[in-house]
Structure 1
């Protein structure tokens, strides 16, 4: 719907909720040996929070910017998406500098080189002049900072993908599938640092999740909706989720490993995250089928108070992700430096959640403060502001 040259988009609160869940899972997964991390998805299936974020980002890009490009405003979409990519790039560089400084200070103060090796910052501390350049070109990335470069790449190329998507959606999706297959077959990936290494999240493979989500956001979901809601799709999704659960349980309980046939082990392993193994992709789609069935857009629970902290975090995903990286390192440091008892693990996890929610609350309140130097009409139109893809 166009209104005075603007596209008005109704916010889907479910996406904020799922992004909030994903942020909390990433925070927990980045804390080694934390008992609370048993609540995260990766312990019970093939996929994890990474698939959450890439799919939601691609869906929003298609849902919001697809109609804008379709009406002939390609440059407007290009400007906004590139602005968002630049914001993520600046956030990544600032996060990189502060994160490495935080680790360097910890190493020096407590005389424990374990942290610099564990978080892949040892080379940076030895050769900061060389590694700064590598970081600026997204080739060098410490541990836990791998995912933002992927989003920067996907969002920066999204305008051109969407231009093709609104004209030939099925052919664009087919092209994405072909690129995915070629990337896996011929080992296409971007070079990383040190030489001989590649990106942990291969953008040539992960683009499939992003493009498929954009295809859904530009109308593909409505075309396959009867299939998604069919009983057969639901049964197959539940069966695949249960299969993934049983396989993952063999990773935690060695006695169960013998129950998996040898031919099946050869068939499914390795379940590669770098190149987005199809087992991960289909596991996420199975979860999406089940969730879409029981969590509609007007789901009453979205208004419950106990879900608002997650929704607030999801509304401010980029800053909360950045703060979450610092908080996960701080929690890891506390547990390693002092004690790793269960109660201590529960305490640092709860404290991290509380801080993330507090930051999201502050950002929420700050967003409600009007700019005195902005025209009144501009303030009113901001109520229909577009939702950023990340």
Structure 2
């Protein structure tokens, strides 16, 4: 959602994204990124009770749009400040370092994921797992497939988000530089690339055939738009977003999208969809980030920042703390979620327990993700306090309480 990434200095109007400071972390992005990670995990499981409560069943967009937008927003905030304080070279080096960390995480996850699927398939003598998870080519030609995986061209099922994120981060340094100099021009060029992608069907090839499930040429628009919002775009749109006309238009579009989505799940009411409208709308491409999906995300974002302003007291609720913790450690939790999703898939296949089994597995996976996020937060706190003590000893000063 179009929210601030870090910390508010001065109270601003309700819909204006606050300027960042080092005093207090802005929790809204962490909250919605954590929610996106939970939705992604649940959607990677076979259809179950909780699947009906995820975003994709209520409109055109889903958790992926939320995740990519927030990633662009946070990247612009963190590295934009570094570019301002340390210069283009240092900031670019930090961005590429982060891209490398994501790449290493992806390869590490790829290795464990393949081992998990291969072991389960061999242990239970069920080759359908390898076919369903798209690793048959690896089992037939492991030498070629591993090279293709290192090139991000081969990916098992459920491992498409991180390669997209890696590509977006690799090309982010010049984009961020232009955003800081001419923000509207940078966003305009992003829109132009998006339009060219649709006109000329630009895509990156996959192995052994086809193209990337998430087309970077198209999805870069959402990432750049998030960065544009972080660098002042959201504040400039505040008056428009606060307009009652905008709020009502967003609400009407969300209701329309929900009504269309109902026809997908209940074929008996499909006759309510006019043929002219259906021919114009379909297919609603997720691969190329259809305009209808992008507009749906914008409508959701508009209503979200209207009803959940900066400083919303609910962000301090202990009930939301698990989701916020997961959002604060998104890379690690995403990887854990992919691993747990296949484990849950395996249990559902081998132990048919109905809706209750599905519900228990979904909740158990979320609890595990929360527990790991809590451990990571605890470890980070210990490391920061240790660093404080070292700096205090070196400077001869006293240690101040609280996080930096």
Pairwise TM-score range, normalised by the shorter structure: over 0.9
- Structure-2 residue corresponding to 1:90: 104
CA 1:273–1:177: 2 relative to 1, 3 Å: same
Give the CA RMSD over aligned residues: 1.9
Distance in 1 separating the partners of 2:352 and 2:105: 32
> Would you identify which runs of 4 or more consecutive aligned residues in structure 1 move more than 4 Å?
7-10, 371-374, 377-384
Determine which of 290, 295, 299 is the counterpart of 1:286: 299
- The answer for unaligned runs of 5 or more in structure 2 is 1-6, 8-20
Aligned to 1:332: 345
1:204 and 2:217 aligned = yes
Pairwise CA distance, 1:238: 0.2
Superposed, which structure 2 residues align to 1:258-273 within 5 Å?
Answer: 258-273=271-286
Q: Is the contact between residue 381 and residue 403 of structure 2 (CA under 8 Å) also seen in structure 1?
A: no
- After TM superposition, the structure 1 stretch with the greater mean CA deviation from structure 2, 65-74 or 140-149, is 65-74
Following the alignment from structure 2 to structure 1, what is the Cα–Cα distance between the partners of residues 22 and 327?
Answer: 20
Q: Does 1:322 align with 2:335?
A: yes
Structure 1 unaligned spans of 5+: 2-6, 385-390
Would you say 1:24 and 2:73 are equivalent positions?
Answer: no
Q: Is the 8 A contact 1:9 1:64 kept in 2?
A: no
Equivalent position of 2:309 in the other structure:
296
Shift of residue 340, structure 1, vs aligned partner? 3.9
Q: Which of 371, 376, 379 in structure 1 is aligned with 2:391?
A: 376
Distance change (3 Å), C-alpha of 1:210 and 1:382 = farther
Equivalent residue for 2:202, pick from 168, 171, 188: 188
Task: Tell me the alpha carbon deviations over residues 304-347 of structure 1, each in whole angstroms, 9 at most, x when there is no partner.
Answer: 11000101111111111101111111111111011141111111
- Residues 97-116 of structure 1: per-residue CA shift (max 9 Å, x gap): 11011101111111111111
Task: State whether structure 2 residue 353 is matched by structure 1 residue 361.
Answer: no
TM-score, length of structure 1 as denominator length: 0.93
> What is the DSSP-based 3-state SS (H/G/I as helix, E as strand, rest coil) of the residue aligned with 1:12?
coil
Paired residue for 1:75? 89
CA distance in 1, matches of 2:86, 2:331: 29
Deviates more, 1:357-366 or 1:65-74: 65-74
Q: Is the 8 A contact 1:179 1:204 kept in 2?
A: yes
Q: Is the 8 A contact 1:69 1:166 kept in 2?
A: no
Q: Write the distance in 1 (CA, Å) between the matches of 2:308 and 2:43.
A: 25
Give the TM-score taking structure 2 as reference length. Answer: 0.90
Q: Is the 8 A contact 1:81 1:156 kept in 2?
A: yes
Provide the aligned length of Structure 1 versus Structure 2.
378
1:164 matched to 2:178? The reply is yes
Deviation of residue 373 (structure 1)?
A: 7.3
| 1:349 counterpart residue number | 362
Provide the C-alpha distance between the structure 2 equivalents of 1:340 and 1:274, rounded to a whole number of angstroms: 34
1:222 aligns with 2:235: yes
Structure 1 residues 41-64: Cα deviation after superposition (integer angstroms, max 9, x where no partner): 001110001001110011112223
How far apart, CA to CA, are the structure 1 residues paired with 2:402 and 2:290?
Answer: 40
Higher relative contact order (CA 8 A, sep 6+): 1
Q: Tell me, yes or no, if structure 1 residue 307 matches structure 2 residue 320.
A: yes
Cα contact 2:148–2:207 (8 A) shared by 1: yes
